[in-house]
Amino acid sequence: MSDLIRPLTTALAAAALLAGGAVAQTEPAQAAPAQPAQVTAASAPTLSLSPAVSGERRFLTLPGFGRVAYYADPRGTGRPLILTHSVNAAASAYEMKPLWDAYAGTRPLYALEWPGFGSSDRPDIAYTPELMASALTALVAELGQEVDVVGLSLGSEFAARAALAEPRIRTLALISPSGLGEPRNGTQEASERDGGTRLYRTLDAVGTPLYALLRTRPSIEYFLSRSFRGPVNEGLVAYSLETTRQPGAKNAPLYFISGVLFTPDAYRDLYSKLGVPVTVLYDQDGFVSFERLPLFDAQPNVTAVRIEGTDGLPHFEKLPEVRAALDAFWAVTR
């Protein structure tokens, strides 16, 4: 958990200076209790948020939560591919747009938006790793067949958790995954004692002005700049600004900032237990570290590919290399 939270805390201070302390109000969301995931058909609500990628925007219903959005392009043949984005103050399926555009039409393609992000509902409830993973297992159940899954950053932890529970997840490709750094004391120990609840309560008390700061253009550009080696993708900046202005946009990010959405030792509790084929694509990353990647890579089901010259979003800056690595991985896991 501390892999992301410590640099994030430092970056918040820098972002505050960049944003000049701008504050705006966000609309409150209606509370709802969390319950185990079940899948039912859902009609699309009226949305002000533009589509993140091409394809049809669809919805699953998780009882006790609400609608979970995903994009679908069932053209092509082969095992369906599910793309899952990261988690941050402005996360959405747009983070996976380069891969979506690369694979659309070549194989059945889906992009999930985690509860509380993108076009998914954003109720004021407790967001947990279990809730996030249940959204992915619900989508797999809806598709009713074996799938390949791509995870990004913290989304990799949710994907791994889902794969441990859902045998139809046949492979995992993890891009700059969190949870492979060395366990540390301090913030991580606090998370293990109280699940981050105390920090969440502190953040929630100032949630509206804090999130208003995070959603300014200078703040979003600053955070994204730490994931790009070259210029920040302007389309991603623009969509990040749009998604952070939706009702309830602050709710899930506060759980992220407080550390509640991290598994304290994701390597021990998630990654090391995986039996399905896994590939890790990585290089440098301003928010996560990879000290235990060699240990993970030593497992017989795991490979690691370094996409040199990139930070946390290699598929934006070196898409051909990323696609070549993914295609080679899937070619031997059919």
List the chain domain ranges.
2-331
Mean pLDDT, rounded, of the chain: 84
Q: What is the architecture of the domain spanning 2-331?
A: 3-Layer(aba) Sandwich (3.40)
Q: Does position 254 have pLDDT exceeding 60, yes or no?
A: yes
Average pLDDT over residues 114-134: 97
42-56, 94-108, 201-215, 296-310 — which is least confidently predicted?
Answer: 201-215
Give the integer Cα–Cα distance in Å for 213 and 220.
9
| pLDDT over 70 (residue 180) | yes
154/12 Cα distance (integer angstroms): 18
pLDDT of res. 149: 99
Pairing state between β 302-306 and 169-175: unpaired
24-33, 121-130, 269-278, 279-288: which range is least confident on average? 24-33
- 3-state SS, one letter per residue, for 2-66: HHHHHHHHHHHHHHHHHHCCCCCCCCCCCCCCCCCCCCCECCCCCCCCCCCCCCEEEEEEECCCE
- Range with lowest mean pLDDT among 43-52, 113-122, 210-219, 233-242: 43-52
**Residue 213 pLDDT greater than 50, yes or no:** yes
Q: What is the Cα–Cα distance from 64 to 123, expressed in whole angstroms?
A: 10
Model's pTM, two decimal places?
0.84
Query: What pLDDT, on a 0 to 100 scale, did the predictor assign at position 201?
Result: 53
Percent of the chain at pLDDT > 70 equals 78
User: Is residue 37 very low, low, confident or very high in pLDDT (cuts 50, 70, 90)?
Assistant: very low
pLDDT surpassing 90 at residue 6: no
- pLDDT tens by residue, 136-171: 999 999 999 999 999 999 999 999 999 999 999 999
The contacts of residue 146 (CB under 8 Å, 6+ apart) are: 79, 80, 168, 169, 170
